[in-house]
Structure 1
Amino acid sequence: MTTINVTYPTTAKGDVVDTYFGVDVADPYRWLEDDRSAETEAWVVAQNQVTQGYLANIPYRDQIAEVVKNLINYERVTAPFQEGEYTYFYKNDGLQNQSVVYRQKGDGEPEVFIDPNKFSEDGTVSLAALTFSEDGSLAAYQTSTGGSDWREVYVMNTETKELIADKLDNVKFSGLAWYKNEGFYYSSYDKPEGSELSEKTDQHKVYYHKIGTSQADDIQIFGHTEAEKHRYVWAGVSEDNRFLFINAANSTSGNRMYMRDLTSENTDWVTVKEDITSDVYALTTDGDRLILVTNEGAPNTKIVVADAANPSVENWRDLIPETENVLTPSTAGGNIFAEYMVDAISQVKQYDLKGELIRTVELPGIGSAGTFSGKENDTKTYFTFTNYSTPTTIYSFDIESGATDVFNRPATAFDGEQFVSKQVFYTSKDGTKVPMIITHHKDTELNGKNPTMLYGYGGFNVSLTPRYSSTVAAWLELGGVYAVPNIRGGGEYGKAWHQAGTQLQKQNVFDDFIAAGEYLIENNYTSSDYLAIRGGSNGGLLVGAVMTQRPDLASVALPAVGVLDMLRYHTFTAGAGWAYDYGTSEQSEEMFQYLLGYSPVHNVKAGVEYPATMVTTADHDDRVVPAHSFKFAAVLQEHQTGSNPTLIRIETDAGHGAGTPVSKTIEQYADIYGFTLFNMGITEL
């Protein structure tokens, strides 16, 4: 196989040692956690020079970029939504870095409402959220700079499209919940005294901003005492502007819920649910009836109804009971649309607000349906449908009759008819059956030599359902096989499936992923020489753990923005909120030893030949700080045996992934796919 010689930068080693339950653990690359130091900045520059030098020598890198560009370059629109006298929608002409918000009145010509491409020259400032006041006369939107979770909020007069003097700074992990046309509720943390990209953010608070006033005058309404300390707090206002709901959580699973009647002189909070072992949120209201979604006593989720006068858990009544399939509901036109996952495939049922079944919605095929949202008085809603070979198509749906029509079917360069997706069930290490969807060209020969991308996540109750992606389509066009297993830790089979991949059961996630790779090899889709493993964030942890436990499984490893130091993840930004899934190194000796046993940073061993690895991260990632990736790359470069390259690609002016400009996406995937194919020994396309 052709190789490219690599000389890695020298990474200094420190003498930091932490002691956990009497066990000393060295952390020689602790200095890379300081994202503001000149030394770290110099290290980033040096590593990027090596990586870009390597990638520049891949002969077909530009060819791959053209394939990705060609497949991304198609007009993409979202489902329309009504605000005031206007219908709004997002559209991207194809290669615009950010999608543009358009609007039209009646059958009039669409006009640009907000063009985020004008926020910055390079497209690195993105539109993060957009919400409208009750009559649509005002809009509030968030912007993100360089992909950061810290946001700025602007308020616009929608008629004139002029900004008003209500700019808010330092907003993080927040919705914008309007109350009539008077103001909105939002959430944030106190700005850290140290690095805003890595300093721990621990106490979330909800504020009310009254239009026409200064942010300094905003009223703090929740989360301002030690007794009410929560890491994540969200506010929502019912469509009739009667109820304010607060969801408060200390982790990514389980929350408390409080409410307040905004029409009452009594401003005390009413507790809907105090226990944090389950989840609940308000779906809609119907007069004095609160319609709530919860997994309290229902791991697959159910819908309950409560009286506003007495909404506590013991008074809940089932409206749409739990079934054997996981439920994700939405509302439009005074109806409930219940999307069920059946082996990760969508089924949708339509109910009225009394819980009576109206119809089963006929979907266009096997895949993922979404949206079905709207206001109470809407007579029409829209839904999306997609799978790995079908670009997202938008359908209109008449709520009364159930009639469905195509609203927008995108014209792409990808011919989905040439590709097939197959769902298989394989057996994991402990005998658990796990589904996986495998997609490839219909003429692919199962000869064990197909470049195969095995993608996984496995955490935080996140479900990987079949969805079209231009970048995945590019991999398929390049002759690749794309495989996605629905491993434990996800939400495909409800809370039990999620919990089976958490804390002291986290190894199940890695075992499920390894078994998926072995299935692909045993059934001649590929072989270890042609297998790449990939995942981002918690999926980056998955890749890091699997490549250190089974370095022989795949030829290429691609951990993206990964959680890779499991002993210290909870000390950065909002990381402590992930403890429900991971546990922490401080909670018990057993948990410490378990984390130490799989933490990727701590399990790279000398004398082992690891797969060709390209770690990817971004310098503005304040969700999973880049120090995870920095330290993992440093220890891999120190211990890698053999000629397989160990590179780190550090995107500048970018974050955890949201809002990434299209131009950067094309570059990223040209590099990722080029690195992958080259290290499978493929010399030409």
Structure 2
Amino acid sequence: MAGRPGCTSFVPAPRRWLSPCALLAAARPVRCQSTAASQQSDDPFQWLEEVQGEEALAWVKARNQEAVADVSEPKNSAAYGRILAILDSKEKIPYVSRLGRWYYNFWQDEQHQKGLWRRTDFESYRSSNPAWEIVLDLDQLAEQEGISWVWSGYNALDEGPGSKWDRALVTLSPGGSDAVVVREFDLDNCRFIPESEGGFELPEAKSSAGYRNRDERVVGTDFGEGSLTASGYPRVSKAWKRGTPLSEAVTVFEGEHDDISADQVLYYDRGEWHEFQNRALDFYHNSMWYRRGDPTRGSVEAGALEEFVRIPVPEDAGVGTFKDAAIVTLRSDWEIEGKLFKSGSLLSLKLSSCVAGIFSDIQVLFEPTARSSLQDSVGTHNFMVLSILNNVRTELQYWRYLEQGRWEQMSSSEPGGEVPVGCDVQVSAVWPDESDEIWVVKDGYLQPDLLQLASAADCGAKPQDIKSKPAMFDASGLVVEQAEAESLDGTKVPYFMIRRKDVPLDGTTPTLLDGYGGFEIPMTPGYSAGVGAAWLERGGIKVIANIRGGGEFGPSWHQAALQGKRHKAFEDFEAVARDLCRRQVTSPEHLACIGGSNGGLLVGNMLTREGAALFGAVVCQVPLLDMKRYHKLLAGASWMAEYGDPDQPEEWDFIRGFSPYHRVQDVCLQPGSGWKCPQVLFTTSTKDDRVHPGHARKMVKRLKEEVPAELAPKILYWENIEGGHGGAADNTQKAYMWALTYDFLWQTIGRGSSQRGEAPASKL
């Protein structure tokens, strides 16, 4: 939910920032209601929540056949071949993360569908043909074990100065679900360490696990009754000694049942060891405790370690470290010791002062404006690089660390000058414990990725080109523009548009509007060869709306569409659609919208609001739609800070207003509504254990059974049996899903397609 589809973290950084969002990749999901329970519900379609139920899967397979028969077999589509070739291309940049002397990369192509974990040294990496050593072959492992393994990352053993970097906890997902198996891996000999040799191994669950030292790790998982929170994440953290059964692990930290999760973590940071305990109270609030870390001591040795001390900062603030400094990110205004610090600010002070509650010497590293926000902060050995969005365009600031939480600003610029409209620049540290080198990635809607190596010490002034991705679609004649639409309350909503420069503004051009609008996640520019090859080359226009609820302008932009104000995100999206029609970029007959996850909730509302008349087609991917039961399904309870609690009558009153599953009956089918459903394709995954596939299944069932056919001319549904929340587990599945999607869109809103007619002018 909280991640933007398609966003790649190209160099995983050490875990140094603690926030509720960072803790949401762990734990076993809450189980759905049983069939017997569903028969007692007033929801006639609740039986479709039985993910692997025989009747439910039979219904799914029938709908899949209908969708393919209607759109045509994706594998026979030109779009399928183009997208698969792009995904399998050996000309992609192999992004790396460093451990000691090695640079690790995970790679997928036509010969390696599940993927290779591999490594090389730096000199080889920067060459045109690196010599890779295979560390783990997932295709081979999947064949040996008969399980469709999907790579989920790793956590290496960091022992500070002189670390051997010879051990890692590898996480593998069966079929792409969030639930993973965790196994200890020997990086020297490229093999899993079996339990018989003292290797750590956790069975399938949404576990959190990290080394405390070579022979102890702290784990959170499903230890049995009472060990999970109401959201289905670990409530209990335990210290697990090597060579002992998991049942003998000792509890070191516990949260509450109503928390999202609880976690304890130890890490090394530029000469300092830090240990945190964290209770994620909800998605945006957490309670944190701190003590100086000591990996040479066992986590439960009596009297050997300091006691944890509660950090007295606002519960919605994020706290991280840089050496001996505390770095605090604010999500609300904070008045302390006679000073007011604005929401969205980045603050620094001495860590010991922060823990002691002494805030007289805070330094402000960033303070937002109405149209600027902090997107990221990356620490090298001596510097911090801030990525700032200024009207959805990235700027970089460089700060040099002095001592005792104090900094000196060096520059406010970015390598190579100002970032053009529709482009972006991303920064990551190469080896922050020893080096000030940074990776710089430049890309954009029409600009393929360029990987550079630079130094924070000279503010990135002398970048070296390391790798570049060739153009993977024909961008000649295409332009990127940034415009604004005015929402109902007068708020200016920016959006990007990618189109042919010579396209006629006569309302006939097929246009695809994309949005998200939730969880303070911005929609920033990035190169998508699939969009280019399957949509832009055909002559379509792509539009990306930066609506409220996202993170384009910081916490205030997000909070403007929280809970009872959710309708503001939908009004913003409709405002962009109206602006496109007003400018005759397109018209409702040729306008479609697309969104996934929280974006699926967004476009689900486009289906069921008056704004449905603005769209000829909708693609709704891995969506939330039944907002009465979302908090009872899988990870849903963790999102109540975003949407509200439907079990509270006063909150259900406003939640019901943006629950598409209920709006069909409450609004759309009411006499005189004038509603007609756009042509729609729903896509999801059986293996999605984050957003339950029951949302999409039940919505389709309701639209097909309760809505007259003349009001819902085309309702298609396709569910991938694997894939997790991303909808696909490997490149062939991704290509299949996206070919089906783009072919559906072109058939419904392309020039010459059969349509339901123009929307009345009063609706625009």
Q: TM-score, normalised by structure 1?
A: 0.89
Whole-angstrom distance in 1 between the partners of 2:581 and 2:192: 57
Note the alpha carbon deviations across 1:184-203, whole angstroms, 9 max, x for none: 4443345689xx9x995155
* Cα drift, residue 504 of structure 1: 0.8
- Is the deviation greater in 142-151 or in 26-35? 26-35
* Cα drift, residue 429 of structure 1: 1.0
- Corresponding position of 2:566: 506
Partner of residue 201 from structure 1, selected from 227, 232, 256: 232
Say yes or no: does 1:397 pair with 2:445.
Answer: no
Say yes or no: does 1:169 pair with 2:202.
Answer: yes
Distance 1:274 1:42, change over 3 A: farther
* Cα drift, residue 41 of structure 1: 2.0
Note the alpha carbon deviations across 1:613-672, whole angstroms, 9 max, x for none: 111111011111011111111111121542621011111022111773111111001100
* Cα drift, residue 681 of structure 1: 5.2
Task: Show the 5 A alignment for 1:137-536.
Answer: 137-165=166-194, 166-170=199-203, 176-190=209-223, 201=232, 203-223=234-254, 229-231=259-261, 233=263, 235-239=265-269, 240=271, 242-263=273-294, 265-273=304-312, 275-276=314-315, 278-286=316-324, 289-297=325-333, 298-308=342-352, 311=355, 315=359, 317-324=362-369, 325-327=372-374, 328-353=376-401, 354-364=406-416, 365-366=419-420, 367-373=423-429, 374-401=431-458, 402=460, 403-474=462-533, 475-536=535-596
Whole-angstrom distance in 2 between the partners of 1:229 and 1:670: 40
Say if 1:609 and 1:641, in contact at 8 Å, map to a contact too. Answer: no
Whole-angstrom distance in 2 between the partners of 1:608 and 1:229: 41
Whole-angstrom distance in 2 between the partners of 1:375 and 1:571: 41
Whole-angstrom distance in 2 between the partners of 1:236 and 1:386: 35
Note the alpha carbon deviations across 1:520-549, whole angstroms, 9 max, x for none: 111121111111111001100000111110
Say if 2:155 and 2:170, in contact at 8 Å, map to a contact too. Answer: yes
* Cα drift, residue 425 of structure 1: 1.2
Whole-angstrom distance in 1 between the partners of 2:728 and 2:741: 19
* Cα drift, residue 485 of structure 1: 0.8
Aligned AA (1:338): L
Aligned AA (1:299): S
Aligned AA (2:201): L
Whole-angstrom distance in 1 between the partners of 2:476 and 2:247: 57
Task: Show the 5 A alignment for 1:482-631.
Answer: 482-549=542-609, 550-589=611-650, 591-604=651-664, 605-606=668-669, 608-631=675-698
Distance 1:220 1:312, change over 3 A: same
Aligned AA (1:636): L
* Cα drift, residue 398 of structure 1: 2.1
Task: Show the 5 A alignment for 1:17-166.
Answer: 26-56=42-72, 62-74=77-89, 75-93=91-109, 96-105=112-121, 107=123, 109-120=131-142, 124-134=148-158, 135=163, 136-165=165-194, 166=199
- Corresponding position of 2:703: 636
Aligned AA (2:291): R
* Cα drift, residue 275 of structure 1: 4.5
Pairwise CA RMSD of aligned residues? 3.0
Whole-angstrom distance in 2 between the partners of 1:386 and 1:94: 25
* Cα drift, residue 73 of structure 1: 4.1
Distance 1:106 1:425, change over 3 A: closer
- Corresponding position of 1:661: 730
The number of aligned residues is 657
Distance 1:476 1:213, change over 3 A: farther
Distance 1:16 1:80, change over 3 A: closer
Whole-angstrom distance in 1 between the partners of 2:119 and 2:689: 33
- Is the deviation greater in 449-458 or in 28-37? 28-37
What secondary structure is seen at the aligned counterpart in 2 of 1:647?
strand
- Corresponding position of 2:26: none
- Corresponding position of 1:677: 746
Note the alpha carbon deviations across 1:463-516, whole angstroms, 9 max, x for none: 111111222222212221111111000111111111111111000011001111
Aligned AA (2:211): W
- Corresponding position of 1:21: none
* Cα drift, residue 175 of structure 1: 5.6
Unaligned runs of 5+ in 1: 1-11, 19-25
Whole-angstrom distance in 2 between the partners of 1:89 and 1:229: 35
- Is the deviation greater in 239-248 or in 135-144? 239-248
- Is the deviation greater in 211-220 or in 243-252? 211-220
Distance 1:397 1:261, change over 3 A: same
Note the alpha carbon deviations across 1:365-419, whole angstroms, 9 max, x for none: 3322223223221142212122111222211112333321111111243244542
* Cα drift, residue 156 of structure 1: 1.4
Say if 1:34 and 1:40, in contact at 8 Å, map to a contact too. Answer: yes
Q: TM-score, normalised by structure 2?
A: 0.80
What secondary structure is seen at the aligned counterpart in 1 of 2:516?
coil
Say if 1:78 and 1:89, in contact at 8 Å, map to a contact too. Answer: yes
Distance 1:210 1:471, change over 3 A: farther
- Is the deviation greater in 265-274 or in 210-219? 210-219
What secondary structure is seen at the aligned counterpart in 1 of 2:606?
helix
Whole-angstrom distance in 2 between the partners of 1:406 and 1:123: 40
What secondary structure is seen at the aligned counterpart in 2 of 1:467?
coil
Unaligned runs of 5+ in 2: 1-34, 125-130, 295-302, 334-341, 754-764
Distance 1:319 1:89, change over 3 A: farther
- Corresponding position of 1:7: none
Distance 1:648 1:101, change over 3 A: same
* Cα drift, residue 312 of structure 1: 5.1
Whole-angstrom distance in 1 between the partners of 2:141 and 2:708: 43
Distance 1:232 1:554, change over 3 A: farther
Whole-angstrom distance in 1 between the partners of 2:528 and 2:79: 16
Whole-angstrom distance in 1 between the partners of 2:357 and 2:111: 49
Q: Percent identity?
A: 24
Whole-angstrom distance in 1 between the partners of 2:747 and 2:481: 27
Whole-angstrom distance in 2 between the partners of 1:117 and 1:378: 35
Whole-angstrom distance in 2 between the partners of 1:585 and 1:404: 52
- Is the deviation greater in 99-108 or in 657-666? 99-108
